[in-house]
Chains A and B, each alone.
Chain A
Amino acid sequence: MTAHERLLNETTSLCRTCKQAIPARVVADARNEVWMHKRCEAHGPQSARLSTNAEWYERTRAIRPKSAPVTRETRPVDKGCPFDCGPCESHAQRIRMPVVTITSACDLDCPICYVHNKNDAPFHMSRDEFGRVLDSLVRESGGELDLINLTGGEPLLHPELLSLIEMAHARGIHRVSVCSNGVRLAKDEALVEKLAKLDARIALSFDTFDKHTDRAMQGAALVDLKHKVLSLLDRHGVDTTLIPVMSRGYNDHEIGQIIEMGLALSCVRHLEIHTITYTGQGGASFDRSARISMFEVLEAIEQTTKGLLRTSDFVPSPSAHSLCYQIAYLLTDDEGGAPLSFLRFMERDELYACLEDHLYLEPTARLEAALQDAIDRVWARGDDSESARALRMLDRLVRTLFPSEKPLDAKSSLRVGERAAKAVYVHSHMDEDTFDTERAYLCCDSNCYADGKTIPVCNYNVLYRDKEPRFVEAPRPWGPRSGGARSLPIVTDARRS
């Protein structure tokens, strides 16, 4: 640390070469940037920039997420974080985004791919194994699960995918989401139709409108294919999440255009923007100068959406470390006007509170009360044109959700709500360079196994995936490892930055 640097916190990170856990210091420098400095005895000093805005970083990190301790059996701490996942008894957050890796097969080889895949004698999770994963998750959630995400590889290559989706719905899971690169969907409209009938959600990777960027990031020119897939998903009414991976200098200037497309397409429910992460078969060797921090993505969104979304329109998720997720909700205008950020009519604390216990907004009593408060407040505020427009949009939403003629069932109500209110999530993954056990302890996204074991996704991608014979031809053996003790507690001055 130099004289111009200010210590923000100490934590445990990983060596980028040997992946051993090493102590790290997070500092703010004279340029107002946040850096992580660490030193591996075997591989020397290492640094990574975590943010370009120290004030935002500190303010955001100071927000303490809602306490939601794991309710099921945990593993005792043995080697220390992040080497005892299952989760270990130090893990401090329940699973809100369960991820099930159902196949190792993939029909692309993307330069930014952050996982390891295997196409020779590929692994396809059996129905029996998947059933046990579901049973374990449903049990842990107390019988009602908001969401499950099936991933791979390319999940659409799983020979029994449709049956797996049915199994998840049969257990009452609200949203069954399937990640996809879209290649198979573009060739098979009948499959899109079947997915629509099964009420599956497609989480479609969509990084760019530019063919050169596409080739650099996805290893192929897929822009036309993605547009075709989106038109098929739209035609058949398949709920869709767009997943752009942001990399600096490649596609960060396009984020506004991608958001606008997502808001305009009726099939798109959410956008989940990931920051590039340097793990996996492709990502580990991708251009490191493309690293982009959460704040830079928010800035890019503000700059490229022409005022539609500002940095101040985002709140962190109360279900995760506040540096992992930033969330904005927008109310769409079916009269053709620009969507309106919730924080233009709703208090920041109210939106934050509505996101407690769920990664996505759910039609809870709290949300109903928050919306009613917002409506009353906007109505009472007066007749200025912005209030009047917000009130008209909210009025239409309420009348659509609660028609006086024929009531909507819960499923239709959720769908109408999600069509009217779209979300933009920014999700910052970690790799060896940026790894911070403080964030890992509070991770709510986990890769889930049939025996009930769960591993936070960043830990999984950085450390665990390449040890599994089902995903790599030559699994890497574990070396000697010794993790960090629980890091310093996060400060408690909770302000919703």
Chain B
Amino acid sequence: MSKLLEGSRCLVTGGSRGLGRAISLAFARHGARVAFTYRRDTASADETARMLRDAGAPEPIVLQGTVTDSAHAKQAVDAVVSAWGAIDVLVNCAAVMQVLPISLLEEQDFDNVMAVNVKGVYLFSRAALRPMIRAKSGSILNIGNFSSERVIEAPVHYAASKSAVRGLTEALAREVGRYGIRVNLLAPGMLDTGLALGMPQHRMREYIDQCPMHRVGRADEIAELAAFLVSSESSFISGAKIAADGGL
């Protein structure tokens, strides 16, 4: 396998579990140096760090905090730049999903999902852009979701947040393209890990029935696509939304 990210300095938010972990590991396998953030689950973060070392990554940087905290975003980016001299890749993967009908959806629920899923992307992107603009290069990959566009029942605050991330991605790509910075959105379908695990089983079956490929996605195949999208192999792809959902 050719290594797509040899020497790249990458930061993955929400990298301790699920898709974030799979992306971190894929980046390590492709020769990247990997830093990741997590919020609370230290055991999973330790396990991911161990797996990264086993995958051949130099000492990973593990950062605890919430993506809604601007100081944490700045400190995380500073830690990468300070350790490795620059930041080449940011993946905004941290997100929350909450199954709630509109009748139970309180203002606080709405604010919380929008804060993590949208404001977190804004804060980390903004923090990473300073060194990226200085370097006149960089790649930001936001993780979206099929629920923002496809006809499927999804909690409205979650769907709204993922639609917002799509808009943010397109606008930011236009704004920072002139510095050689690419911004893309990867929108996976339902996966065998992460947030999808909380869906009722029948929802999973419904997805599989509707999906032309009749299966859910694997985190590792999404992670490989992420590695490609942030690598120089996709140097002319920006402002794009790439769906990986089995043809839904």
Contacts and interface: CB of A to CB of B under 8 A. Distances in A.
Contacts of A394: 104
B101 A402 contact: no
B198 A398 contact: no
Nearest to A368: B200
A402 B99 contact: yes
A291 to B, nearest CB: 42
Contact of A365 (B96, B97, B112, B202): B202
Contacts of A395: 104
Given A404-B96, A409-B197, A380 B202 contact: no
A398 B201 contact: no
Nearest to B102: A376
Interface string B198-217: 11111100100000000000
Given A372-B101, A398-B99, A363 B198 contact: no
Contact of A379 (B103, B112, B203): B103
A365 B207 CA distance: 12
Contact of A375 (B97, B101, B200): B101
A191 interface: no
B103 A380 contact: yes
B198 A407 contact: yes
B195 interface: yes
A404 B98 contact: yes
Interface residues of B, number: 24
B197 A407 contact: yes
Contact of A404 (B97, B101, B206): B97
B100 interface: yes
B206 A375 contact: no
A216 to B, nearest CB: 46
Interface in B153-203: 194-203
Interface residues of chain A: helix, strand, loop or mixed (majority) = helix
Nearest to A392: B104
Nearest to B203: A365
Contacts of B203: 365
Contacts of A406: 41
Contact of A364 (B41, B99, B196, B202): B202
B98 A368 contact: no
A375 B104 contact: yes
B99 A376 contact: no
A375 B198 contact: no
Given A363-B202, A368-B200, A376 B195 contact: no
B226 to A, nearest CB: 21
A53 interface: no
A376 B202 contact: no
A266 interface: no
A332 B43 CA distance: 33
Name, among A365, A401, A407, A408, the residue most crowded by chain B CB atoms within 10 Å (CB to CB). A407
A398 to B, nearest CB: 6
A364 B204 CA distance: 11
A368 B203 CA distance: 10
Contacts of B100: 398-399, 402
Contact of A376 (B40, B103, B201, B206): B103
Nearest to A413: B200
A74 to B, nearest CB: 30
A170 interface: no
Contacts of A405: 40, 96
Name, among B41, B96, B97, B99, the residue most crowded by chain A CB atoms within 10 Å (CB to CB): B99
A16 to B, nearest CB: 47
A3 interface: no
A403 interface: yes
Contacts of A404: 96-98, 112-113
Nearest to A364: B202
A403 B201 contact: no
Given A378-B103, A404-B113, 17 more contacts: A363-B201, A365-B202, A365-B206, A375-B103, A376-B103, A379-B103, A379-B104, A391-B104, A398-B100, A399-B100, A402-B98, A402-B100, A404-B97, A405-B96, A406-B41, A407-B196, A410-B201
Top 10 closest pairs, chain A to chain B, by CB: A407-B198, A402-B99, A379-B103, A404-B98, A407-B197, A365-B202, A404-B96, A376-B103, A395-B104, A372-B101
